[in-house]
Structure 1
Amino acid sequence: MNQQNMSDATPRHDIAALFAATRARSDALAAPLSAEDMMLQSMTDARPTKWHLAHTTWFFEEFILKPRVPSYRSPDDRFAVLFNSYYVQAGPRHARDKRGLISRPAFAEVVRYRETVEAGIQALLAQDRADLAEISALVELGCHHEMQHQELLC
């Protein structure tokens, strides 16, 4: 089944539920950690928990909200550089091996960022739009991307 057919067959509420469950799982994985714990980068090839949470949020913002919601504004323009990873077409990135040195934004700001983007995605999925199948496919892709980061967190 190609991606278009999969999106057409997946009801909007299923995508919204997948999105909510995926985001909640990331929050649950991070819950036992302190803000200080979430900054640690144990080795060059690992990422800090705070970065994973912000990066997966950035993905939804960059590839879904920014191009499809004309009134959407990121809470902080620095996030586009800080939380990009390998997406060359999306612009510059913070050095991979130095992500554990990102002390700002504080974890509380990352939480607010996640809440802002989650509300934007939920509102977008609730709209009757001609491009809803495309948006749903991208949200599903974003959820699978976040699940990969959940594996890395574990």
Structure 2
Amino acid sequence: MCRFVYGFGVGLATAQLTRVVLRDVPVERSGEAPGAQSTARQIGSALGIAVLGTVLFTSTGTLLQHRLEDAGASSASASQIADAVVASSGGSIAALTERSPTAGAAAAEAFSDGTRAAAWSAAGFLVLGLAATLRLRSRPDNTEEAGPDAAPATADATD
């Protein structure tokens, strides 16, 4: 389901983004603009994944370590468990729950809270993107499209 929503959103955004990018590009350079736009999109995707992954795993590890220490675990033990959960991308939570239901519940809750922090971070970046989009200047459309035969406009017609 997530892939569908992501694909649908990217499909809607890409069409509009291409239109915005090509709006001010001269026709003779229109072949370069989509390549630049695609490169920027790919760099943004890679950076976004890196930033959101960092937020997810850093917050998960920190929250889990604090919860385990608050529950009475030693700092070294809490750190080791948090590192194992983060290193496995949450895959070790099920095995941890079998060994220690309290630690497993803390890990599941910390992973959920880390996911929430990453989602809020993504939402913040979306708001920044929206604000940047709203600040794009609009080119006035009061000029007619001039063909290649059109004479250049002159400022003074009394020559």
Normalising by structure 1, we get a TM-score of 0.33
- Higher-helix-fraction structure: 2
Report the TM-score, using the length of structure 2 for normalisation. 0.33
Q: Which structure has the higher relative contact order (CA within 8 Å, separation 6+)?
A: 1
Please say which structure displays the higher CA radius of gyration.
2
